């Protein structure tokens, strides 16, 4: 009688099973595992560092830098004009949140209050001026905004001369922010802007026109 030869058991892996090859040396297997962990951590660190670097680059490429200036000539060097100007010399747009103007310590609320305070201009006297709202405005990169322009006329020559003399006694401060809500205060007689947490740091009566 012939004996039946048993069939060998299937050595195939069922679906979803993973066969881990081992070297047979525990210290080698441990070293390989540790290397994999170190590589993973290093890759994560590099990714985080790259993300922070990119964030800083984007922030730096969006920084505004506002300067407050006054001049008695135009861009072509012509006289007979006085201007108060906000210039954004930065690489990003500037949001002007608040403007405070004082003359000899007295708060000024608008252009005509300024002319009455500095130049004794009455309500009936209207010198040739053009005004523009500065607060709550956006100024693009490398752009400027004249928020007060006075032109000399025959009837207003005396007022023009007086304002030309007294404008240097003005204290003009503007708080502006970047698109990332980083804020600074620019001043007429300051060489650089002062970083602040928010425009609430700029105290005083707001100048509106």
3-class DSSP state of 107:
strand
Q: What is residue 40's predicted lDDT score, i.e. its pLDDT?
A: 73
Query: What crossing angle do the helices spanning 111-119 and 157-166 adopt, rounded to 10°?
Result: 90
- Average pLDDT value for the chain: 83
Do the beta carbons of residue 87 and residue 69 sit within 8 Å? yes
Domain residue extents for the chain: 25-60, 66-201
Residue with more model confidence, 52 or 183: 183
CA distances to 45, 47, 143, 146, 149 from 116, in Å: 63, 61, 30, 20, 16
Query: 91-150 pLDDT, tens per residue?
Result: 999 999 999 999 999 999 999 899 999 988 765 566 789 999 999 999 999 999 999 999
204 pLDDT above the threshold of 90: yes
Nearest residue to 183 (alpha-carbon basis) of 193, 191, 173, 168: 193
pLDDT (average), residues 2-22:
51
Overall pTM surpassing 0.75 (yes/no): no
pLDDT at 74: 85
């Amino acid at each position: 009688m012939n004996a039946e030869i048993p069939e060998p058991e299937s050595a195939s892996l069922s679906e979803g099973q993973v066969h881990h090859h081992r070297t047979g040396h525990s210290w080698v297997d441990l070293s390989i595992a540790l290397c994999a962990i170190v590589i993973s951590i290093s890759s994560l660190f590099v990714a985080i560092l790259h993300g922070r670097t990119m964030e800083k680059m984007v922030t730096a490429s969006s920084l505004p830098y506002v300067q407050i200036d006054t001049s008695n000539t135009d861009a072509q060097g012509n006289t007979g004009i006085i201007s108060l100007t906000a210039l954004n010399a930065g690489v990003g747009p500037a949001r002007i949140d608040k403007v405070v103007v004082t003359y000899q310590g007295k708060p000024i609320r608008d252009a005509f209050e300024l002319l009455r305070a500095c130049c004794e201009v009455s309500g009936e006297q209207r010198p040739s001026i053009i005004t523009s709202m500065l607060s709550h405005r956006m100024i693009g990169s490398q752009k400027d905004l004249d928020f007060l322009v006075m032109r000399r006329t025959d009837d207003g020559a005396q007022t023009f001369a007086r304002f030309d003399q007294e404008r240097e006694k003005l204290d003009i401060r503007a708080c502006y922010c970047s698109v990332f809500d980083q804020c600074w205060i620019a001043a007429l007689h300051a060489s650089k802007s002062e970083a602040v947490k928010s425009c609430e740091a700029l105290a005083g009566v707001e100048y509106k026109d």
